[in-house]
Amino acid sequence: MKDTEKIVIPQGVWDFHGHVCPFMPIGYRMGLIAMRELDVGHVGDHGAMGLSEMGVGHPQTCMIDGFMAVTGCTYGKLMMERLNYGKVACLLVAPGRGAVRVYLRSDFQDTLGKQEFFAYRKRGVEPSQIPAEVTNAVVDLVLSAPDEEMFEVTRLPEFTFSHPKGSFAKTKCSNCGEYVFERYVRMVDGKPRCIPCSGYDQTWANVLKGIQ
Ligand SMILES: [Zn+2]
Ligand SMILES: [Zn+2]
């Protein structure tokens, strides 16, 4: 991007995200850079994989919505996963084209952190409740700063990612009677159980609650 150009986020992407904030457009820009780097377009089916280095329990995760919207690598298509490193970075992996990591430079994160927007956020004010001029200032900053000032782009020649093989096979839980896809069936006393009925507590829900 040239110094004078400003990235424009389509209105539909803002509408999907739900509020105006700086991290959704950061993710959008990360996606644009990654697609340019690998020379891939918006993914309609399953032609590329997105990976976010975000975790849980910290802000900035709005980034993922922007990245998904521009690349087409969505959670629903299972073309987006989270690596849980707690870093502001995204990876794009495309078969035959390689992999690239885009990191929001530490210096830029420092610059961003000084914006008044984050003083409101730290006080627990939701983005939609922050005065528009405060939000517009930070969004303007992330839409107009040059790529090289904001992002560190690294090709990952060794990186590969593969999904488990997809299967439609499912079975009924012997306790609640609901269908569960076979990969997630647990056997209790020789009978199939879903995870909530199995007593097995290492579920993602517990991870999100901070129990695991
Ligand atoms: Zn947001
Ligand atoms: Zn069950």
User: Where do the domains of the chain lie, and which CATH numbers do they carry?
Assistant: 11-155 (3.30.1330.130), 170-209 (3.30.60)
How does pLDDT run across 130-151, given as a tens digit for each residue? 999 999 999 999 999 999 999 9
Which H or E run includes 138? helix 132-144
Percent with pLDDT over 70 in the chain:
92
What ligand is nearest to the CA atom of residue 17?
1
What ligand is nearest to the CA atom of residue 65?
1
How does pLDDT run across 150-170, given as a tens digit for each residue? 999 999 998 888 777 778 899
What ligand is nearest to the CA atom of residue 186?
2
Q: What separation in Å is there between the alpha carbon of 153 and the centre of ligand 1?
A: 23
The mean pLDDT of 102-121, rounded to a whole number, is 95
Least confident of 45-49, 173-177, 197-201: 197-201
Q: What separation in Å is there between the alpha carbon of 183 and the centre of ligand 2?
A: 14
Cβ contact 158:98 at 8 Å: no
Q: Quick one: pLDDT at residue 209?
A: 61
Q: What separation in Å is there between the alpha carbon of 170 and the centre of ligand 2?
A: 13
Q: How far apart are the C-alpha atoms of 207 and 78, rounded to whole Å?
A: 20
pTM more than 0.85: no
What ligand is nearest to the CA atom of residue 16?
1
Q: Which residues surround ligand 2, an ion (CB under 5 A)?
A: 173, 175-176, 194, 197
The DSSP symbol for 182 reads G
Q: Work out the burial of residue 169: count CB atoms within 10 Å of its CB; fewer than 13 is exposed, 13-18 middle, 19 or more buried.
A: exposed
Q: How confident is the model at residue 203 (pLDDT cuts 50, 70, 90)?
A: low
What ligand is nearest to the CA atom of residue 195?
2
